[in-house]
Amino acid sequence: MVCIRCKLVFQSELEKLGLHCGKVDLGEAEILENITPDEIKLLDTALRRLGLELMEDRKTVLVEKIKTIIIELVHYSDSQIKINLSDYLSDKLNHNYSHLSSLFSEVLGKTIEHFYLEHKIEKVKELLIYDELTITEIAYKLHYNSVSHLSNQFKKMTGMTPSQFKNLKNRNRNI
């Protein structure tokens, strides 16, 4: 589960099966009762109908935890981490970063750093669309060293500068 909606849907489906959950976090849930294999199948079927997936494989669960931490860091946190991303993930997940990195690449076919940058650029796009902050303020908010660093990374990932993206968005708004 990587969003609030997913958590609510998961809780609702558990309740329909007469099950209760204690802690539901992004990426994991604690079910208070013992769950039978038949209940697991029913839950999995219900979640798949809703576009969600029940994960039991340890590798997949760990990759989902990495994704969740990065998504929370980029999209839901205004505070800057005081250490680099690799140390942050290692500390949060209590695993060696080399292991996390290899596993992530194996399962998703992209590096943790690339996933992180994709989400930072998506956040930049979101903030540009809201049009409440300048590019300088966005660079500061997302902890870029400079506006040019943000612009270079944005262009590398999207093929256009933040200003071009902003103008494209404005052009579409007038149609």
Q: In this predicted structure, what is the pLDDT of residue 32?
A: 85
So where are the chain's domains?
A: 1-54, 116-173
Beta-sheet pairing, 21-25 with 28-31: antiparallel
Q: What's the pLDDT tens digit per position in 120-162?
A: 999 999 999 999 999 999 999 998 999 999 999 999 999 999 9
Q: In this predicted structure, what is the pLDDT of residue 110?
A: 97
* pLDDT-flagged residues of the chain (< 70): 1-3, 25-27, 169-175
Which amino acid, 108?
Answer: L
Fold designation for 116-173: Arc Repressor Mutant, subunit A (1.10.10)
